[in-house]
Amino acid sequence: MEYKIRHDYFLACKEEEYHVNYQKLLANMPVGIFMLGRKNKELLFYNKVIARLARMHSEMSRANSNESVTKANIMDAINNFVQKKGKETLGTVVQNWQGERLDKKHKYKYKKNGHKMVCSIKGLRLPLRSQESEVFFLEDQTAFEELSKLESKYQKLYVASIVHDIRSPLNGVMGIIEKIDAQSNDPVVKVSVDIARKTCQMLLFLTYDITDFSQLEAHKFKANPEKVVVKEVFEEITELLAFNFETKGLICNTMIKESVPKYVLTDRHRYMQILLNLLTNALKFTFKGSITIEASYDALSNQLITFVTDTGIGIKQEDIPCLLYTSD
């Protein structure tokens, strides 16, 4: 929710009646509002939201609920709001602000004695009565923040449920495919069974991608390094996509340079995922010619380097910088 203050109405506050009425309006607004004099930074006004925040932070007892809130109480509370992705405090923002308008898009987090709050800040510099004043608006984002966390939690549960619901029937289909393969000696049936098996494997790879994405969001992603034979990985991935190459009439070339050791310590499953993604993308945009997978090893950096090249339409030069970014 956004609250807009009319500049001309503030100017009208030079008259005492409007000034009092407007202060009453601001006092009951659901956003935190306080005013400071521009020259000496004295506290001119604060509303109920700011008063509650200052009392909560200063731990004023209920018996002293009528005790006046001072500028020190307010600034002490505001100084405890720290930028979520940085070290800047709201107090620093208020003290260092220069200009006519303040509109910080960052969120600031407060946490003390079990109390939590997230807010954003806006400000206006306006003439009020006989001096220029700085008016600050603190909008409470705590409810939105909690709602966002709850939404993220249920989204992860939903994704996990979807992955499970996809894998269960796929495993059932894989079991039937293996049973047909064991019972039939017909070469035509064998080819069809092989295609069905590879298709199921590709769908399982997709569920692994979804799971990995959820783990990355939860900061729980872990690699599983093991001894991997690169040649075996290349053979497996090309066999998996053999039908796709055959359908499009493309040639699949594999090249493993002598620098590549027999065993490479890496996460086999993720390496397969990356290769599968690159190859399926190459297959999508290649209509004739070939696709080549090449592996080499850099002993200095101890890295396995893999290239996937194709004779497809390629990428426009101006689009290359956008490859690692999502489109708007």
pLDDT of residue 316: 80
Burial of 98 (0-12, 13-18, 19+ CB in 10 A): exposed
Output the tens digit of pLDDT for each of the chain's 328 residues.
344 444 444 444 444 555 566 667 677 777 888 888 777 778 878 888 888 888 877 775 444 555 677 878 888 888 888 887 777 887 888 877 777 777 776 777 877 766 777 888 888 877 665 567 788 888 777 766 666 677 777 777 777 777 777 888 888 888 899 899 899 889 888 888 887 887 787 788 778 777 777 677 667 777 889 999 999 999 988 888 888 898 899 999 999 999 999 999 998 888 988 898 899 889 999 999 999 999 999 989 999 999 999 999 888 888 777 776 555 4
Length of the chain: 328
DSSP 12: H
Single pTM value for the model: 0.49
Task: State residue 61's pLDDT score.
Answer: 47
Can you give the pLDDT at residue 1?
A: 39
143-177 b/e with 16+ CB inside 10 Å = b? eebeeeeeeeeeeeeeeeeebeeebeebeeebeeb
DSSP string, 255-283: EE-TTS-S-EEE-HHHHHHHHHHHHHHHH
What are the helix (H) ranges across 70-141?
71-78, 90-96
Q: Residue 5's pLDDT is what?
A: 46
- 8 A C-beta contact, residue 36 and residue 72: no
What value, to the nearest 5°, has the Cα angle with vertex 161 and ends 160 and 165?
120
Nearest Cα to Cα of residue 105 among 2, 10, 187? 2
Q: Which residues contact 105 (CB under 8 A, 6 or more apart)?
A: 120
> β-strand 251-256 against 290-298: which pairing, if any?
parallel
Strand partners, 35: 45, 135
Tokens of 32: 């935190």
Q: What is the CA radius of gyration of the chain?
A: 32
User: For residue 3, what pLDDT is reported?
Assistant: 42
Q: How many CB atoms lie within 10 A of CB 280?
A: 13
Closest CA to 262 of 231, 234, 236: 231
Asked if residues 237 and 203 have their Cβ atoms less than 8 Å apart, the reply is: no
CA dihedral over 164, 170, 176, 178, signed as positive or negative: negative
Amino acid at 292: T
Identify which of 98, 97, 49 has the alpha carbon closest to the alpha carbon of residue 74.
49
Residue 22 confidence (pLDDT)? 62
